[in-house]
Amino acid sequence: MAQTLLIALFLPLAGALLLRGNRDWMRLGSLLVAVVVLIAAIVMAVRYKECPEGGFAYNDFTWAGSLLDVHFHIALDGLSLWLFALTALLMVVAVLVSWEAIAERTSLYYRLLLILETGMLGVFVARDIILFYVFFEFTLVPLFFLIGIWGGPERRRAAAKFFLFTFAGSVLTLLGLLSIVLWNYYEPSVDPALRSLTFSIPDLTEALRNHPMDPTLQIWVFLALFAGFAIKVPLWPLHTWLPLAHVEAPTAGSVILAGVLLKVGAYGFARFNVAMLPQATAALMPWLLWLSLAGIIYGALVALAQTDIKRLVAYSSVSHLGFCMLGLFAVNRLSVQGSVLQMVNHGLSTGGLFAVVGMLYERFHTRQIAELIGLARRLPRLCFFAMVLVLSSIALPGLNGFAGEFPLLLGVFQRAWAEPAPANWLQLRVIAVLSMSGVILGAWYMLWMYQRVFFAKRKGEGKAEGERGVGKAAGRNTIVRDMSVREMLCLSPLLVMIFWIGLQPSFFLDRMAPTLNDLIKPAMEAVERQRMNDGRSRKSEVRNASSGERLRISSFERRTSP
Amino acid sequence: MLDIKTLLILIPALPLVAAVLTAALGAPILRTRSHLPVVAAIALSSVASLLLLARMQEQAGQGRGGQETVSLWRWADVAGDGQNAARQEALSPGHSLSRDFRVDVALEADSLTAAMLAIVTCISTLVAIYSIGYMRGDLGYWRFFSYIGLFVFSMTMLVSATNLVLLYVFWEAVGLCSYLLIGFWYERPAAADAGKKAFLVNRIGDVGLALGIFLIWTTYGTVDFREVFAAAGNSAGDWRTTVICLLLLAGACGKSAQVPLHVWLPDAMEGPTPVSALIHAATMVTAGVYLIARCMPLFATSVTAQCAVATVGGVTALLGGIIAVTQTDLKRILAYSTISHLGYMFLALGTGTLLGVTAGMFHLLTHAFFKALLFLAAGSVMHAMGGVIDIRRLGGLRRRMPVTHWTFLVGCLAIAGVWPLSGFWSKDAIVLAVQQRYGSGAASTLFEALFVTATFGVLLIDFYMFRPYFLVFWGKERIPAVAGGHAQESPRVMTAPLIALALGAAGVGAYFAWTGSFARFLAGSPSLAGLGPAMGELPRSGHESIALLSTAITLVGIVLAAFIYLGGPQRAARLARAMNVIGLYSLSYGKFFFDPLYHALVVWPLLGAARLAAWFDRRVIDGLVDLFGWLPALVGAALRPVQGGLVQFYALAMMLGLLAMLGLLLM
């Protein structure tokens, strides 16, 4: 299985180097590569539980000598598994949406796309900090060119902004990552003779669990990591590169950007900030939650005011990622599992919506909602696909969005309503309740957009009687064709996943649960300790409480104390 | 071979399969036969529900337990911290960081569910048959039936869910179906808007329900109905239970169109009329009533919550009635009438006694019959009149449409509560339950006021129902021009369901009230255990006086309506003027101005905030970012003169620098 992982990771890169020929060969070859990678990902996801440690690992290649212990170490665990699979899936979608849309310099285009795939897959499987960082930066370059060459009219500005913004942040991230490594190296409790400058992520996680960093230092390192990851996510108010990049990017670029690259930031938060810096996570929790909440509401409000459908979807991403971060930073099992599932869900629904926007653009050469009106009759199939994606995006129960959002919010509430209440209980509860407004606003802007684009009636088409009267309607664009087989093939896998996750999330949650529970354990304990301290300082209140209450608290203390 | 478990699966599965089949084959193959799978499936499902009902009764007769559960698959299972402690913890509510979040896709039948299933599927069957005629020739024929199948599926799943999460899933699914069906003629802006409004207003209520579920989870550590109720029994008087109940009530208000979230229901008239009948009578709006009836063990522990439910119900009953009196659109009159009747059901549930709950459910049953009947009859009028439904433009139709006229009359008499039609019995039961409640128990003043409200509401019902009846079917014959040549009785496929519903509306009330079997059967539900004496077990003193009182009021209302609306338009105008002395007419005609109020208070401020946020995003945040982007360039520009390329300048700078360093060293 480890070989499968290795092949899946490097096949796209090999494809990028080896594929040559005209447009037809390039796109066929790329599709083949993407499909093979997807199959590999599916095989690994299905057989994931057979693996005793709960992950596939490949680790027998060392770069440097004894001092710099840099390994080529890749592995799949519960956190990376579904993001890896999502990347593989969305790459197939990306190749298929580019099929007709990209006519110029196709050879370069598909090569960049494939290089990008290796970069993204690498981020999720790298288990060595240097390797992680290489892949992390590696994703920037191909996307920079994809936006800069095949983008819209303002592509240069968008590409530059995207690159500089994310690059500026990631320099600080590197600093943070290196300080973790160095801190571990100079840890006094370790015998100097046995010291090695390890960059291994699992080793560092384990080491920091045994001898955590100094809390103040943790906060600084947290903030350094935060700079890069928060821009990637993007957390409010570092999001402004996103709408521009999305609007200007070619469709495949938007699909990948929203579907995968935003998750790289969230993944980094989970892998490094939460897992390695538990005290800082606990201490900064209210701030992080406020930022996430701001993203949820602000993103939804700005989306409501958009007239460009692509911008609307882009801002909806800000709102959705706000939910993901809310769940992650609430550090408890439900919310974190919901959050990771929601990352995948967002990739499916928003990736699909961007593909739909691309399909509309190919037909009508506009993205203005006001100009795209009443398409349901002319594009019934697209209307159906778009409806499922929209409903998934607004978290309709039975579809995937709900399966992520519900546990996520449940976990956030559990955190906010924990007893004995932490000192900041009021803040947490206000955040938890306010986050629900995102659910309403999300339905509002999405349905508003959907209604305008698909349901409203074009002037001069049909009669007031609705369907009964329509027949000889004629508009300027009546010959527009509905979805082709290729386009349906492109969106169908997304729909299958949307229904599958929605109907049986346990299949997905079960596979990620062990890793995630282990990953957030230190942070959860840190939060719990803080809470119990708060609880103890308010003993007098407890004494006044009813006897039942006292009983429960004492039983809780018994259970949580070692 | 058809045991309860199989039936329980079949009832929702049949409509689902039919809906998917119709969606897949409707356009290319079935076309004008698209109704076949769905109508057949819903009909079979109603047979299955009746069978289920019989089986349940059989079981109850043998004294066996009242619940049967069938688990399909595990939806989610997220381990808590202390996995072994989870079950014990569920019985003693406490802090929450140790529980498993386990949700099964499982169905459960008890008598409450069985009764709901029977009502939903039977009414839906008749509505679906009626739709064959009503929707004939529509381009979206297959789409319509596919949605109907999905709607019935969602509703049957909703009432048989075993846990709150599954209930929530179908709670929203029902909302989605209503969105699709209300906006069925999506090219009409009003229809698309109404669909969206229904979805959004419902979503506000849904958020209340979701919050309630979250709080239930954090309080009891489980979302399973049975476990929650067991835990709730141990935590009586906890403030959290009250808050939970209020949140559930918010959810129920959204779905059951109670004040202040009732605004979507009248707009829902934009959908095809059978949809209105389905939404108002059998599916959708009854979900809220069901939720509260199901969660009675929670409501039973909190008097505050009971008062809230009853007050919401009472206010809605009154408001809906007052608004209905002045509307001119027949379907809207019926819509406000539904709102007001749902208010009655809430009022009954708010008493928190078994008597009240059974009365509420009984009213749900009878209301399903007569409201479906009235809507379908209205649809029949609309069908014949070319889509016109304004009662001012219609008149004297009783000769042209005899079946519609007679069935509509039966519906009016039933809804007005004329003895011995069904409305009489159920409304009587509600009024009686409220009367009993203020006689004994807490908050008696409130319930006394609600009793007066409910009694007065009866007068309104008679008046607002007989007003359109007299205007449309009596007087001079008025037929709008658009009706053209087809101003005649509707086809048999439409009148047959009308007759069936009329028989039901006339008979069910008397049958169940006399035999008392409905109340007895419902009382077997574990959800309703321990709520006090059932209907039959009460002394019947006081019952007759209430029956006499309400009959007298009913007669007054009908005679009043006849006097005013059979006598010519000037009498109505005079009444309107008299009422407007205190502004009541304007208030009623303007529907108490809820819509403009919400627009001013919610919609516009939010849209304004959205504009503001968009502006802020573009100018302020992005502006700051660009400023940062310019910073290196600015610094560069400031330093550029230094690199002049003059060697003498560099030499001078070097010397000055050396001197400065030396100076520093010396000091």
CA angle B576, B582, B585 (to 5 degrees): 35
- Residue B235: its pLDDT value, please? 66
Residues of A in contact with B188 (CB under 8 A): 457, 464, 466
User: Does A349 score more than 90 pLDDT?
Assistant: yes
User: Does A434 score more than 50 pLDDT?
Assistant: yes
Name which of A337, A418, A468 is nearest B96 (Cβ-Cβ). A418
Q: Does B619 touch chain A (CB under 8 A)?
A: no
Angle separating helix axes A425-435 and A309-329, nearest 10 degrees: 150
**pLDDT average, residue stretch B555-575:** 78
3-state secondary structure of A470: coil
Residues of A in contact with B195 (CB under 8 A): 451
Best residue in B89, B214, B235, B246 for a mutation probing chain A (most A CBs within 10 Å): B214
Interchain CB distance below 8 Å, B617 and A165:
no
CA–CA gap between residue B296 and residue B356 (Å, rounded): 11
Q: Is-contact A438 A300, C-beta < 8 A? A: yes
Question: Residues B496-531: pLDDT tens digits?
Answer: 888 888 888 888 888 887 777 777 777 777 777 767
Interchain CB distance below 8 Å, A509 and B173:
no
- Residue B236: its pLDDT value, please? 63
Residues of B in contact with A436 (CB under 8 A): 207, 210-211
Which residue, chain included where needed, has tokens 């930073």? A329
Residue B125: both structure tokens together: 């069957």
> Which residue pairs from B511-519 have beta carbons closer than 8 angstroms and sit at least 24 positions apart in sequence?
B512/B362, B512/B365, B512/B425, B513/B362, B513/B425, B513/B426, B513/B429, B518/B115, B518/B358, B518/B361, B518/B362, B518/B365, B519/B358, B519/B362
Neighbours of B564 (CB within 10 A): 20
Which residue, chain included where needed, has tokens 């008493």? B351
Best residue in A341, A379, A410 for a mutation probing chain B (most B CBs within 10 Å): A410
What amino acid is encoded at B234 in this protein?
Answer: N
Taking the CA of residue B438 and the nearest CA in chain A, the distance in Å comes to: 32
Interchain CB distance below 8 Å, B171 and A397:
yes
Question: Residues A394-407: pLDDT tens digits?
Answer: 888 889 989 999 99
Residues of A in contact with B625 (CB under 8 A): 161, 165, 240-241
Taking the CA of residue B637 and the nearest CA in chain A, the distance in Å comes to: 19
Taking the CA of residue B100 and the nearest CA in chain A, the distance in Å comes to: 9
Q: Does the pTM of the predicted model rise above 0.90?
A: no
Name which of A305, A455, A553 is nearest B614 (Cβ-Cβ). A305
Phi-psi region of A77 (alpha: psi -120 to 50; beta: other; left: phi over 0): beta
Q: Which residues contact A29 (CB under 8 A, 6 or more apart)?
A: A15, A19, A21, A110
CA–CA gap between residue B376 and residue B359 (Å, rounded): 25
Which residue, chain included where needed, has tokens 């809470």? A531
- Residue B93: its pLDDT value, please? 47
B177: closest chain A residue by CA: A396
Taking the CA of residue B168 and the nearest CA in chain A, the distance in Å comes to: 8
Please choose, from the candidates B117, B12, B106, B109, the residue with its C-alpha nearest in 3D space to the C-alpha of residue B60.
B109
Name which of B137, B193, B610 is nearest A302 (Cβ-Cβ). B610
Q: Does B185 touch chain A (CB under 8 A)?
A: yes
Q: Does B172 touch chain A (CB under 8 A)?
A: yes
CA–CA gap between residue A224 and residue B207 (Å, rounded): 37
CA angle A239, A242, A246 (to 5 degrees): 165
CA B364 to chain centre: 12
- Residue B215: its pLDDT value, please? 86
Q: Is-contact A400 A482, C-beta < 8 A? A: no
DSSP state of B528: G
Q: Does B138 touch chain A (CB under 8 A)?
A: yes
Interchain CB distance below 8 Å, B78 and A456:
no
User: Does A353 score more than 90 pLDDT?
Assistant: yes
Which H or E run contains A69?
A: strand A68-69
Question: Residues A149-204: pLDDT tens digits?
Answer: 887 788 888 888 888 888 888 888 899 988 888 888 877 776 666 667 778 888 88
User: Does A360 score more than 50 pLDDT?
Assistant: yes
- Which residues in A292-306 are b (16+ Cβ under 10 Å) and which e? bbbbbbbbbbbbbbb
Q: Does B627 touch chain A (CB under 8 A)?
A: no
Angle separating helix axes B569-579 and B543-565, nearest 10 degrees: 120
Interchain CB distance below 8 Å, B101 and A334:
yes
Interchain CB distance below 8 Å, A301 and B610:
yes
pLDDT tier, A545 (very low <50, low <70, confident <90, very high otherwise)? very low
Interchain CB distance below 8 Å, B610 and A304:
yes
- Residue B1: its pLDDT value, please? 56
User: Does A559 score more than 60 pLDDT?
Assistant: no
CA–CA gap between residue B150 and residue A398 (Å, rounded): 13
Distances (CA, A) of B491 to A237, B62, B133, B145, B407: 63, 46, 7, 19, 15
Interchain CB distance below 8 Å, A506 and B74:
yes
Bridge partner residues of A189 (DSSP): none
Q: Which residues contact B534 (CB under 8 A, 6 or more apart)?
A: B354, B355, B358, B519, B520, B523
Best residue in B16, B95, B220, B244 for a mutation probing chain A (most A CBs within 10 Å): B95
- Which residues in B180-208 are b (16+ Cβ under 10 Å) and which e? bbbbbbbbbeebbbbbbbbbbbbbbbbbb
Taking the CA of residue B214 and the nearest CA in chain A, the distance in Å comes to: 6
User: Does A370 score more than 60 pLDDT?
Assistant: yes
- Whether the ω angle into residue B260 lies within 30 degrees of 0, i.e. cis, is yes
**Where is average pLDDT lowest: A232-236, B256-260, B618-622?**
B618-622
Interchain CB distance below 8 Å, B101 and A465:
no
Interchain CB distance below 8 Å, B217 and A413:
yes
Interchain CB distance below 8 Å, A240 and B96:
no
Residues of A in contact with B210 (CB under 8 A): 406, 409, 436, 439
Q: Are strands A74-76 and B68-78 parallel, antiparallel or unpaired?
A: unpaired
Residue B347: both structure tokens together: 């009022």
CA–CA gap between residue B351 and residue B258 (Å, rounded): 17
CA–CA gap between residue B494 and residue B380 (Å, rounded): 7
Q: Does B644 touch chain A (CB under 8 A)?
A: no
> Which residue pairs from B546-550 have beta carbons closer than 8 angstroms and sit at least 24 positions apart in sequence?
B546/B428, B546/B431, B546/B432, B546/B435, B547/B419, B547/B424, B547/B428, B549/B455, B550/B417, B550/B424, B550/B427, B550/B428, B550/B431, B550/B455, B550/B458
**Residue B619 burial class via C-beta count within 10 angstroms: exposed 0-12, middle 13-18, buried 19 and up:** exposed
User: What value does the CA radius of gyration of chain A take, rounded to a whole number of Å?
Assistant: 24
DSSP state of B76: E
Q: Does B621 touch chain A (CB under 8 A)?
A: yes
CA–CA gap between residue B208 and residue B94 (Å, rounded): 22
User: Does B582 score more than 80 pLDDT?
Assistant: no
Interchain CB distance below 8 Å, A506 and B75:
yes
Q: Is-contact A512 A341, C-beta < 8 A? A: yes
Q: Which residues contact A222 (CB under 8 A, 6 or more apart)?
A: A176, A273, A277, A280, A281, A284
Please choose, from the candidates B301, B302, B506, the residue with its C-alpha nearest in 3D space to the C-alpha of residue B422.
B506
CA A316 to chain centre: 13
Question: Residues A92-131: pLDDT tens digits?
Answer: 999 998 888 888 888 888 888 999 999 999 999 888 888 8
Taking the CA of residue B622 and the nearest CA in chain A, the distance in Å comes to: 6
Residue A437: both structure tokens together: 């407004």
Residue A465: both structure tokens together: 């009687």
Name which of B77, B173, B617 is nearest A302 (Cβ-Cβ). B617
- In terms of DSSP H, where are the helices of A257-277? 262-268, 275-276
Name which of A337, A410, A454 is nearest B214 (Cβ-Cβ). A410
Interchain CB distance below 8 Å, A237 and B621:
yes
Residues of B in contact with A301 (CB under 8 A): 606, 609-610, 613-614
Name which of A413, A451, A505 is nearest B76 (Cβ-Cβ). A505
Mean pLDDT of chain B: 82
pLDDT tier, A63 (very low <50, low <70, confident <90, very high otherwise)? low
Please choose, from the candidates B130, B224, B116, B214, the residue with its C-alpha nearest in 3D space to the C-alpha of residue B174.
B116
For chain B, the structural domain boundaries read: 4-589, 593-666
Residues of B in contact with A164 (CB under 8 A): 629
**pLDDT average, residue stretch A76-105:** 88
DSSP state of A235: P
Distances (CA, A) of A39 to A5, A11, A81, B260, B339: 11, 12, 13, 52, 54
A557: closest chain B residue by CA: B95
B206: closest chain A residue by CA: A440
Best residue in A457, A467, A507, A525 for a mutation probing chain B (most B CBs within 10 Å): A467
Which residue, chain included where needed, has tokens 């739909």? A356
Q: What share of chain B has pLDDT > 90, as a percent?
A: 7
DSSP state of B97: T
Neighbours of A151 (CB within 10 A): 22
Interchain CB distance below 8 Å, B625 and A241:
yes
pLDDT tier, B534 (very low <50, low <70, confident <90, very high otherwise)? low
Q: Is-contact B498 B363, C-beta < 8 A? A: no
Interchain CB distance below 8 Å, A333 and B81:
yes
Which residue, chain included where needed, has tokens 């409305």? B423
Best residue in A302, A336, A458, A461 for a mutation probing chain B (most B CBs within 10 Å): A302
Name which of A304, A397, A465 is nearest B607 (Cβ-Cβ). A304
Q: Does B386 touch chain A (CB under 8 A)?
A: no
CA–CA gap between residue A6 and residue A11 (Å, rounded): 8
**pLDDT average, residue stretch A255-261:** 90
CA–CA gap between residue B183 and residue A232 (Å, rounded): 39
User: What value does the CA radius of gyration of chain B take, rounded to a whole number of Å?
Assistant: 31
Which residue, chain included where needed, has tokens 């499987």? A125
CA–CA gap between residue A532 and residue B382 (Å, rounded): 67
